[in-house]
Amino acid sequence: SSHEHKLNFGKSKEMCLNFIQDAMLQKQWNRAAEFLTFYAEALEKDFSRDYMGPSEIIWRIGTEILCHHSHSGMKEFNSFIEQMKTFGVKRYLKVCLEHSFHLLCNGLVDEAYQNLSLAESWRFGEHTAIRDKEIKLIQAYKGLLDYYSWSKQKNILLEHDEDEFEDLSVEQEMHSYFRKAAVNLKEIIKIPGVWDIFVKCYVDLLEFYGDDEEARQVLSEYAYNSKFPANPNAHVYFYQFLKRHGESKKSLISALKILHDLVPSHELMINFNTMLQKSKKRKNRRLGLQVIFAVLDYAGWKENVKAWSCLARQVKQIVISDKHPDWIEQEWDSRKDWWPAFHFSHYLAKKNWQENKSLSYEKALVAGIILGKDCKYFRYVSHQGCKAQAKKFRILKKFVNKHIPVHLRISG
Amino acid sequence: MEFPATLFPSSFSTGPPRDEGGPAPAAGWGEYGQVLEAGRGHHQAETRFVPRHGRTGESWEPADVAAVPFLPPNATCWLPLLAPQDILYRSFLHRKLQASISGPAVDFTKQLSHFFVDHPEDAFGSLGCLLHKNFHLGDSGVKREARDNTIRMTALMEEINRLDARRGCPQKYLASRLRWFSHLSRDWLFEVPIGLLADCVHEELLLQWAGLLFDDGPTGGALAWLPAEDTGARTGRLVYPGGQAMNHLYFQDVVLKELPSARGSPAEFELNGRIRQVAAARTNGEDFVGVRSDYHCGIWRVPGRTGAAPTPLQVIRTSMPASCLTVSPHIPGELAVCTQSGSTYLWNIEKGLQRLRHDSQTMFFRDHSPWRWCDFTAHPRVLSCADRTGLQCLDARAPERCQLDLFKVGEEASCQQGERVVLPMYLGRAHPSQHLVTTQFSMYVVDERLPLVPVLKWLHMMKAPPLFAHLTPGDPGRSHKLLLGASRTQEMMLLQYQGGGQLACRLVGPPQKLHTITGCLEHFPTQLPHRHCLLQQRLGIPAAGLAAVLQKHGPRESLLVFQLSEAGDIFCQRLTHEVAQPLARTSGDKPTAAPGSSPLFEDPASSPQHLGSEEEKEEEEEDEQTSYLSNLEVMINEEEDGGRPAFLEEAELTQEPCASPQPSPVVLSEAVALRYRRWLKALSKRCGEPPWPSCPTTCGQKRLFTREELQTQAGPSILHQQARQRMHQAMREGGRIQCWDLLDSQSSAILKPPEPVEGPDSLSARLTAAWSGDWSQWWEERTSFYRTQRQRALRERRRRQKRARGRRSLSASFTSSLTYQSELSELSDTGLPPLSPTPPQEGFPPRGSPPPSPVPDEALLSSQSLRIRGIPKERRKTLRDYLGVWTESPLEPPELPSSQVSQLCIPSSQSQLSSASQTRRKRPRMGF
């Protein structure tokens, strides 16, 4: 019967948990809280070797309820979490970290900092990989808060730059914040991961103290280390760093070229395209055309006037100069079977004309040159444009009619 | 396409998943995940932080207490679902097998034996033909001249027949003769070699078992909503499967009102197989609808304007079942198809099929599942291909060369062990480069531009893996609403998330559970138990798809969610955006009995409001009666339905009091209640009555009379009418009928628990006495009672010996609650009012005589009246005895030995059949 008892106990525990979950999923926080008080009794008999024991469940559910419960404040929350911290050694760091997140989200930065410092000094329990990761993360967030304090001090100093009687203590304090932040931030960005915010802060610190070499190394490591995930931001940061420091066009182009290979639809590609178009090298101009064509492959850019005008300008340039129509031809080759339906359908002509005239102008120019004057898109837009007495569109029509041979070459 | 300037921090490592675990019950709660500073200016003193798993989101409150039937029930010939006990061993063998074999012990021998018995021609046909001359099965001996090529099999047959009788005997052994025969014939007797057949059956059963555990056929869902072209119009079109085998495709125009309603009759197409998936996408102002069945995929074009007819465009046939069909949101008439052989095709209606990949192996590690999926990405030529182990992007222009790992089940996404991809979906309408990936444990949002690292992860805590998903994109600055739906448990979960462009992707607000079809059960009018059971089964059928529509009218927004079941029933529910709601309800902690948001209630003339307030009043009184009252449910003859008195409708509006700890608002709006009733009516009409598969087969005594024999020619009797009148009156007053005694009708209102019929058994009487505390008194009475009882018993026996005939046993059946239903059905057809559980002696006033007497009317039993009714002479006597039983002493029944009673209690199957074959009526029933 003791077995049966245990079985019943387990069953009612499970049922209670189901009720709690049900109430929470229907946002009935008061009800869930009532059930949770019953469920808490289950803790007494927690011999389970389950993946997630009742104490973790109580922590998770309790936190969630307290966040939504109408009668709970920060005081109740803190006291609940303090209790939870004592429940399990294994979860201590995680609970601490989540607690500081809660404090941070509620604007209690100082309390969060204290919390993180406490957690950092925790020395109990066995060392595991997860634990190491957690402690690194705790230190990193602490470093981040140090950085914010540093930047606050820095702003004070910058504001009072004129005043000569600036005491040294503020400056010293700032430097001590710098040291604390730098140590912790440096550690976390060695581990593979997405550490955008930490990297940005660390680089800011380094740049302020003039350690550009270290900053460059950190950024290039973050961008090009193959152990790290292919994070577009890493390349963006590197590019921005190069630009800030007035690096050569060549290195900028090569940084963006790598970003282009990774994320052809990135917004920096527009800048990249203009940069390449201005270039004197043929190779770069060619790449520019590739880049802008690739950008417009993506659904997200479909109605972007800027991108279309970039393409229109370059196509027009090529047609007028009559130098490299084969570039267009080659780009068009892999797109001819789907761009007409994707970009240049009759429906889209109507829609673009209604919604954005300048977009339809740019698109009509590209369509007219590449697909010829019989293309549905061009025909509709030029017809509507001429009807609306817009000079721009009459010129467009003339231009396309003049350059029919280009179209014939491309499509032929 | 902007990319977030800073992403939430996360560590990254590669390799197989390390996190052991499994489904943890509360894993999705209580975590912020990570935090990120939100828009800090350099000169701003305060730094604000936003969490990855935010706690505040838009609040969407359900407008009704349960999902509402949207369309009449599908006329499906519905078979009960396969249950584990149908295909697994359930005997001692099971335990034995379980000990030795891991995995399910599939009972293929049972299936084989069914096959041999049901289809002997197919199993042994040709050998049977060949041998029947040589086998002699008669009792007589084989003639001498035939003895050379004929053997006598009679003994063998007897042996086989005896086998049945010996079943259950622990010492059963096969007779040597049988063993000899089976050994001899094993190789040649069967049409299909027995080993091969058994293998195939076993394999099939294992497949069935796998399907029972997890069926990925309906992945993606078979319900689609096509919005009207102009967003202001409150119309749209619902595409769904239906029909007996779910092989009809319907396009139904829908008008969105408070409750959506169908307009006109749907466009219908009959297809060549069960529809598994319906996918739709709008390109260039036209909707393209892809339909997947096991071996066929088809595409329809639906012009955007309302009323335009859908046109079928193309069909392809696959040699292996297709597992996926998605429609391109970029290029009209383009689809992606996957088959279980591991092939992925791009299908363009103009250019035909292009095979992108063929690989029977899974991508990242080995998994046995042949399931494949494929969807579109932000680049119209790049497709994302998925199997259970992850997602890969490949370029249709160079599928072999251009590949990119998008999502991997592993440490990269910090997956758990055993986690598998269940449903990927392109979230292009929210952000062009986002994808949803669901597994049985978690949901992930993946960004194409940051492969392998999910930008969002959340443990969804659903009991069954989410096979359906629907995205309702939010306007800039608003959250995107993501609906996840499971099949087996019908769960639906609403999540909200934001970001992907300027800001990093994050979850906003807690998840929310939506109503399921099963949850409607308690809101249907109460049914007879077997019908209730059937309704429960019908509503509990796994879900087959979901769709949602966002409606904006002025400041109010509502999200209409449709859910389709595998039986083809469509239910819908509405969620309203709280802020815009004029009467904001505090989020459901204390359910109020006050009517909800339905405008019907604003009408002062409408009755439910009145009823609701009355109920509140009664609740205050804390009268026990209230609970009875709200339980009061009336089933009415169907033919009466047309001219149904208004109070009955009212009566049905009251819901049963909260028996479960689930607090649900008490009152349904009338329009909703009406829908329930109509749906139920249509269900019983369409799906026919007789083949109730769940109806317990009962056996027992043969029926005495047919219904016709007992029926009066002259319509409903006065008594019948009176009874009906009284019942109506009682319902109007909200009282109850304690006994059918017409004179007594006004006297008492409170129903006491039914007194046990005097001395049904001494034990319960004694316990009752002990309970109420006067046990000693009982004992006193008992001793004196025994004396009188013995005397009476002696007298009784003598009297009985005199009669010494007739079957009086039916009387016993009245004491049984098990059987009152079927008995009732016959009795009330005779024009007698139905029974209440009060003793029959009181309960049956004789027909036609308002002042009741405890004896049945002589007129009823007179041979003349029986003759008029056409009852044959030989039966009249029995009938008289039968009816006479009621007048007998109440002490009589307990004297029957208990075993006999229980045996006799069971009503005859014949009588059940007869009542079922009549036009089945719902009868007034009270107090249960």
Kindly state the tokens that stand for A53.
């024991």
pLDDT at B117: 84
ipTM: 0.93
**In the predicted model, what is the mean pLDDT of chain B?**
73
Distance from CA of A196 to the nearest CA of B (A): 5
Tell me the pLDDT tens digit for each residue of B15-66: 888 766 666 778 888 888 888 887 655 445 567 888 999 888 888 888 888 9
Mean pLDDT of A136-162: 87
pLDDT at A412: 64
Total residue length of chain B:
928
Number of other residues whose CB lies within 10 A of the CB of residue A387: 9
pLDDT at A349: 93
- The Cα B739–Cα B722 span in angstroms is 13
Residue entry with tokens 């439910």 = B608
Number of other residues whose CB lies within 10 A of the CB of residue A192: 16
Cα B47 to chain center, whole Å? 52
- The Cα B330–Cα B735 span in angstroms is 65
CB contact under 8 A, A133 and B10: no
Residue B125, helix vs strand vs coil = helix
- The Cα B155–Cα B132 span in angstroms is 16
Distance from CA of B779 to the nearest CA of A (A): 35
Given phi > 0 = left and psi -120 to 50 = alpha, else beta, which region is B307? left
Tell me the pLDDT tens digit for each residue of B187-205: 888 888 888 989 999 998 8
* Residue from A42, A24, A141 nearest B30 by CA: A24
Tell me the pLDDT tens digit for each residue of B488-509: 999 999 999 998 888 899 999 8
Kindly state the tokens that stand for B148.
């050379």
What are the distances in angstroms from CA B533 to CA B67, B627, B693? Answer: 19, 23, 11
B714, pLDDT greater than 60: no
Percent of chain A surpassing pLDDT 70: 93
Residue entry with tokens 């099929």 = B353
Q: Which residues of A touch B491 (CB under 8 A)?
A: none
Mutation pick from B2, B8, B11, B658 vs chain A, by most beta carbons of A within 10 Å, is B11
Tell me the pLDDT tens digit for each residue of B715-749: 556 777 788 888 888 888 877 666 555 444 444 44
Mutation pick from A69, A155, A266, A298 vs chain B, by most beta carbons of B within 10 Å, is A298
B164, pLDDT greater than 90: no
A192, pLDDT greater than 60: yes
A360, pLDDT greater than 80: yes
Across-strand partners of B36? B50
pLDDT at B683: 85
* Residue from B340, B418, B419, B326 nearest B377 by CA: B326
Across-strand partners of B483? B470, B494
Q: CB–CB of A192/A201 below 8 Å?
A: no
Q: Which residue has the higher pLDDT, B400 or A342?
A: A342
B612, pLDDT greater than 60: no
What are the distances in angstroms from CA A222 to CA A117, A263, B420, B634? Answer: 27, 17, 31, 73
Distance from CA of B250 to the nearest CA of A (A): 27
Measured N-to-C along each axis, helices B775-803 and B762-772 cross at an angle, to the nearest 10 degrees, of 160
**In the predicted model, what is the mean pLDDT of chain A?**
87
* Residue from B661, B441, B26 nearest A19 by CA: B661
B421, pLDDT greater than 80: yes
Kindly state the tokens that stand for B322.
């297709």
Residue entry with tokens 């509140």 = B616
Given phi > 0 = left and psi -120 to 50 = alpha, else beta, which region is B519? alpha
B824, pLDDT greater than 80: no
Distance from CA of B793 to the nearest CA of A (A): 45
B32 touches chain A (CB under 8 A): yes
Which ranges constitute the DSSP H helices of B804-852? 810-814, 820-829, 840-843
Give the residue on A whose Cα is nearest the Cα of B398: A334
Q: Are strands B296-303 and B286-293 parallel, antiparallel or unpaired?
A: antiparallel
A251, pLDDT greater than 90: yes
Q: What's the pLDDT band for B882 if we cut at 50, 70, 90?
A: low
Cα B839 to chain center, whole Å? 37
Q: Which residue among A64, A229, A301 sits closest to B450, beta carbon to beta carbon?
A: A229
List A residues 36-75 in contact with B (Cβ-Cβ < 8 A): 50-52, 56-57, 59-64, 67-68
- The Cα A299–Cα B428 span in angstroms is 9
- The Cα B534–Cα B689 span in angstroms is 11
The residues, any chain, with a CB within 8 Å of residue B642's CB and separated by 6 or more, are none
Cα B560 to chain center, whole Å? 22
Torsions phi, psi for B768 (to 5 deg): -60, -45
Kindly state the tokens that stand for B3.
């990319």
Q: Report CA dihedral (B742, B744, B747, B750) to the nearest 10 degrees.
A: -80
Q: Which residue has the higher pLDDT, B129 or B172?
A: B129
Cα A113 to chain center, whole Å? 26
Residue B49, helix vs strand vs coil = strand
pLDDT at B739: 59
- The Cα A310–Cα B114 span in angstroms is 74
Least confident of B181-195, B249-263, B699-713: B699-713
- DSSP line for A177-226: HHHHHHHHHHHHTTSSEE-HHHHHHHHHHHHHTT-HHHHHHHHHHHHH-T
* Residue from A129, A166, A251 nearest B15 by CA: A129
**pTM metric for this prediction:** 0.73
B754, pLDDT greater than 80: no
**Burial bucket for residue A79 (CB in 10 Å: 0-12, 13-18, 19+):** exposed
B459 touches chain A (CB under 8 A): no
The residues, any chain, with a CB within 8 Å of residue B549's CB and separated by 6 or more, are B225, B227, B236, B256, B559, B560, B562
**Burial bucket for residue A329 (CB in 10 Å: 0-12, 13-18, 19+):** middle
Give the residue on A whose Cα is nearest the Cα of B36: A197
Kindly state the tokens that stand for B869.
């009714």
pLDDT at A2: 63
Residue B433, helix vs strand vs coil = coil
Q: Report CA dihedral (B460, B461, B462, B468) to the nearest 10 degrees.
A: 10
Instruction: Specify the DSSP class assigned to residue B578.
Output: G
- DSSP line for B295-316: SEEEEEEEESSTTPPPEEEEEE
Kindly state the tokens that stand for A186.
């440096």
Q: Which residue among A29, A67, A197 sits closest to B36, beta carbon to beta carbon?
A: A197
pLDDT at B109: 82
Tell me the pLDDT tens digit for each residue of A293-336: 999 999 999 999 999 999 999 999 888 887 888 889 899 998 98
B255 touches chain A (CB under 8 A): no
pLDDT at A164: 55
pLDDT at B420: 93
Mean pLDDT of A158-183: 79
CB contact under 8 A, B35 and A104: yes
Distance from CA of A66 to the nearest CA of B (A): 9
Q: Which residues of B touch A31 (CB under 8 A)?
A: 589, 663
CB contact under 8 A, B24 and A198: no
B409, pLDDT greater than 90: yes
- The Cα A212–Cα A214 span in angstroms is 5
